[in-house]
Amino acid sequence: MCPSSPTSSNNALSTAVIEAVAKEMDGDPTELPEQLYDVIDSDALDSLFTGGNSMGGTVTFAYCGYTVTATADGDVTLEE
């Protein structure tokens, strides 16, 4: 499992996912083999844990050969 840093308020969760995968693949975020929006609604991902309505939790999905888990705290972990 490869954890990333928690996201800041200026860094959307979808961006954190893309950056974590690119880092793990030792590549550029703009050159990933798959677009995030092809596997998950990135706007929904970003809004899922924002605002005062967040009750915590996680979301897990497959992306670029990894199982990605994103948490309400902004943590992103990858498993091959």
Dist. CA 66–CA 49, nearest whole Å: 21
Range of the domain at 42: 2-79
**Contact residues for 69 (Cβ-Cβ < 8 A; gap 6+):** 58, 59, 60, 76, 77, 78, 79
| Residues belonging to the chain | 80
* Residue 7 pLDDT > 50: no
For 37-70, how does the pLDDT look when each residue is reduced to its tens digit (9 = 90+)? 999 999 999 988 876 555 788 999 999 999 999 9
C-alpha to C-alpha distance for 25 and 31, rounded to whole angstroms: 10
Asked if residue 6 has pLDDT above 50, the reply is no
pLDDT for 8 beyond 60: no
Q: How many domains does the chain have?
A: 1
Distance of CA 63 to the CA centre of its chain: 9
Q: What's the confidence (pLDDT) of residue 68?
A: 98
Question: Residue 50's pLDDT is what?
Answer: 77
Which pLDDT tens digit goes with each residue over 10-24? 579 999 999 999 999
pTM: 0.83
Three-class DSSP category at 57: coil
Do residues 69 and 76 make contact, with C-beta atoms less than 8 angstroms apart?
A: yes
